[in-house]
Structure 1
Amino acid sequence: MVIKLELKADLHIHSVASGHAYSTIGEIAAAAKERGLQMVAITDHGPAMPGAPHHYHFGNLRVLPAEIGGVMVLKGVEANIINDKGDLDLDKYYLERLDIVLAGFHTGCFKSSDMEDCTRAMLNLMENPIVDIIVHPGNPEFPLNYEAVVSKAAEKGIPLEINNSSFCGSRRGSYDNCSSIARMIAAYGGPVVIGSDAHFAADVGMFDLAVETVIAAGISEEQVLNTSVEKVVTYLRRKKTNKGDAIE
């Protein structure tokens, strides 16, 4: 039997505001519509990343419309883990006002490559109720005890991302790690998000290699959050208890 995953939302996209991405939000929405997506999340890098926008950028995302060209637009951030306490580089004041908060490790933002330090940071991060999705956990630059991370994510219902960009040149050496993580997610039954991590509009909705990995691992369609807008909205509404603004 051929298993197919039809994804309706791309929840990890960067605009020109990230400093090393090359498309506007309008261009991103247009590309999403062309690919048949119903939702995008604009998740520019947090301010610890070189070239990333100032805190005020995230505070002013409220001026964006909730929909552009028939595509629902979530206002978010890809925040950086900055220490082994799992702290992030954007204040709670801003984080709790966003629709969606992604978090992960990035070069220059987290100073250790020791597995114990990285795992401690990730497990502590999961205690923060503001974090919605953990991105590209398979990055070999930041080694993790994958079973500890996947089991806790499943217990807490926090989606781990299988990142398509990790198979296309970003974070070289991620493939085996991502495949192992995907198999563990299947075994533990936790939620997963498939993200493009697009830095250019033409890559919005590009999920092919990540989808292959998820299917090969035996992850069920029910575990994949972004197979419907309704699933995404329901999840984020449930999480918004500790945030300021509801997603309408």
Structure 2
Amino acid sequence: MKLLLDMHNHTIASGHAYSTVQEIAAEAYKKGLKYLGITDHGPEMPGGPHIFHIGNLKVIPEKINGVEILKGVEANILNQEGKLDIPEKLLKDLDIVIASLHDACIEPYDLEGNTKALLNTMENKYVDIIGHPGNPVFPIDKEKFVLGAKRTNTLIEINNSSFLKSRKGSEENCYEIAKLCKKHRTPIIVNSDSHISFDTGKFDKAIELLEDIEMPEELIINTSTDKFISYLKNKGKTRFL
């Protein structure tokens, strides 16, 4: 399975990552990626960038080393109503928006509360991806979540880093979510969630999962740049209209 894009990458601006935009772009080129997302954390993450950093992403070139650079953010979900730490006036101009639950920014609710937070977040028309929903710190009603993602045209992330050290215990949840996406024909996106350039474009564990459950390639948005751009156009991303 050949994946052509990685939309979840953190630079040194995130405070706990270790590479620059140029280093990440160089690694993306080396691994044959066509599209690369720069998605540093929102400002509520301890050590994260000031909101001005997100607002000034326009200075980054749209192409580096032949790789298309999408300027975005991994916004933090702050409550059950789906409030994010990035104002809509900035969200509307970003190329890609991931929204995630992080226990450094929000106290985990019970299953119902966590599910409500994700469902409400997906009602935000500027949100494209829900990041690492398999995190066991935030238990969710997986089927409600998958159906909500399909209804709102929000991509569900299969996060390669979740299978490593960053979110122990995620693997079983990711399998269940992926199987439900297959059942309900809900599109997914595979991302590295890299915090150092060497991990950009690293999808090995996620691919292993998807091959194990025989996920149809048409549901994996990374397998086609045309499919990905069509998705962004449908979401109204100004850069691609």
Q: What range is the shorter-chain TM-score in?
A: over 0.9
Pair 1:138-2:131 in alignment: no
Q: Deviations over 1:5-53 (max 9, x none)?
A: 2100011110111011000000001000111111100000011100111
Deviation (angstroms), 1:234: 1.4
What is the percent sequence identity of the aligned residues? 49
Deviation (angstroms), 1:154: 1.9
What is aligned with 1:247?
Answer: 240
Pair 1:226-2:222 in alignment: yes
Pair 1:86-2:79 in alignment: no
Alignment of 1:1-248 (within 5 A): 5-240=1-236, 245-247=238-240
Distance 2:27 2:145 in 1: 34
Distance 1:155 1:98 in 2: 22
Distance 1:207 1:246 in 2: 27
Q: Deviations over 1:95-125 (max 9, x none)?
A: 1110000011001212233111101111111
What value does the CA root-mean-square deviation take over the aligned residues?
A: 1.1
The answer (yes or no) to whether the contact 1:113–1:141 under 8 Å persists in 2 is: no
The answer (yes or no) to whether the contact 2:91–2:126 under 8 Å persists in 1 is: yes
Deviation (angstroms), 1:229: 2.1
Distance 1:30 1:228 in 2: 21
> Which runs of structure 1 show a deviation greater than 2 angstroms over 4 or more consecutive aligned residues?
245-248
Distance 1:130 1:217 in 2: 30
Runs of 5+ unmatched residues, structure 1: none
**Taking structure 2 as the reference length, what is the TM-score of the superposition?**
0.97
Deviation (angstroms), 1:212: 1.0
The answer (yes or no) to whether the contact 1:17–1:44 under 8 Å persists in 2 is: yes
Distance 2:223 2:53 in 1: 29
